[in-house]
Amino acid sequence: MPQIRLPSMDCETVCREIGDFVFSTVEDVGASGCVIGLSGGVDSSTTAAVIHRAFKEHEKEGGPACELVGYIIPSRVNIDQDVKDALTLAETLGLRFEVCDIETVINAFRSTNPEAFHNAYHRGNLISRVRANVLSTKAATENKVLAGTGNKDEDFGIGYYTLFGDGAVHISPISGLSKRLVREMAAFLKVPDYIIHRVPTAGLEPDQSDFKDLGYEYDLVELVSEGFAQGLSREDLSGHEQIVPLAHQERERYRSSFGHDKFSSVEEMIADIESRHRQAQQKMRIIHPPGPTITLRYE
């Protein structure tokens, strides 16, 4: 069975390609810069670092000055560390930023959507849509482009985002980077290690993590997605030498962490990723923010 090839990149080249895409978008629409939501996680931190670098470089080269503004939008489900990490990133980059606590806004929806408060999943998606409203309104009133922070695995691999929430953005700068490559880019841009290696979480439900929700990590999502793209079938992937050991390892870790199995077999895990990928494609038919063309190497 053929090896599944994973892409590599030259960080300097890809960073420039993403930055040029963002700058040209801002210039084309006559905006004054970008707005971004900062969560303290690696995706938003890396996106902010790439855009900040691009704006500074274009200004040095004689281009118009563009501003990146960071908004930190906590609710009661966020831990204090989320805000601290986001603040540290904003201060390190020297961004103008603002903390907007939205708990009062969320609770206002009890009068119109009480049903959403009966279920943590629906309340979480409501939080994401409130965040999106705050960000898009900030962008509109400041004449800025709203930059999304979704990576390739989450947004385009398995559609792990809220359709009219964190998916409602003008552009998707890191849409071509897997979680693995986002971390690589973050290290290149000297994002702090503790942010690079933070446990991925949407920050929408108490004690939530992406691994707890999904039952697997993004390294497996990337392998399976690339396997499908390279012509392998579900049956091929379920017995593939690169996938089986990783899938078993993640099943064991899930059982150890949460006291029960999420999936009974590798085949179920692959089927779940495939099903989520189909859902991601359906979401993309509704909202598909443009992303940059980047140079990746498959060796």
CB of 142 within 8 A of CB of 32? yes
Supply 66's token pair: 């563009």
Q: Are strands 297-298 and 7-8 parallel, antiparallel or unpaired?
A: antiparallel
User: Is it the case that residue 205 has pLDDT exceeding 90?
Assistant: no
Distance CA 87, CA 255 (A): 34
Distance CA 70, CA 38 (A): 6
Other C-beta atoms closer than 10 Å to the C-beta of 104 total 8
Structure confidence at residue 64 as a pLDDT band (50, 70, 90): very high
Distance CA 254, CA 263 (A): 9
Residue 103 half-sphere exposure toward CB, CA atoms < 13 A: 6
Distance CA 73, CA 26 (A): 23
pLDDT of residue 203: 85
Distance CA 224, CA 240 (A): 10
User: Is it the case that residue 185 has pLDDT exceeding 90?
Assistant: yes
What is 7-207+283-298's CATH topology? Rossmann fold (3.40.50)
Mean local confidence (pLDDT), 244-251: 97
Mean local confidence (pLDDT), 159-166: 96
Annotated domain spans of the chain = 7-207+283-298, 212-277
Distance CA 155, CA 228 (A): 17
CB of 86 within 8 A of CB of 39? yes
* Mean confidence (pLDDT) of the chain: 96
Structure confidence at residue 204 as a pLDDT band (50, 70, 90): confident
Query: Cβ-count burial of 177 within 10 angstroms (0-12 exposed, 13-18 middle, 19+ buried)?
Result: buried
Count of helix runs (H) and strand runs (E) in the chain: 12, 6
Distance CA 155, CA 280 (A): 7
Q: How far from 118 is each of 123, 209, 215, 275, CA to CA, in Å?
A: 8, 20, 24, 27
CB of 248 within 8 A of CB of 22? no
What are residue 37's DSSP bridge partners? 71
The whole-model pTM stands at 0.96
What long-range pairs does 139-144 form, CB within 8 A, spacing at least 24? 139/34, 139/35, 139/170, 142/32, 142/33, 142/35, 142/69, 143/30, 143/31, 143/32, 144/26, 144/31, 144/32, 144/33, 144/34, 144/35, 144/67, 144/69
User: Is it the case that residue 275 has pLDDT exceeding 90?
Assistant: yes
Of the chain, the percentage scoring pLDDT greater than 90 comes to 94
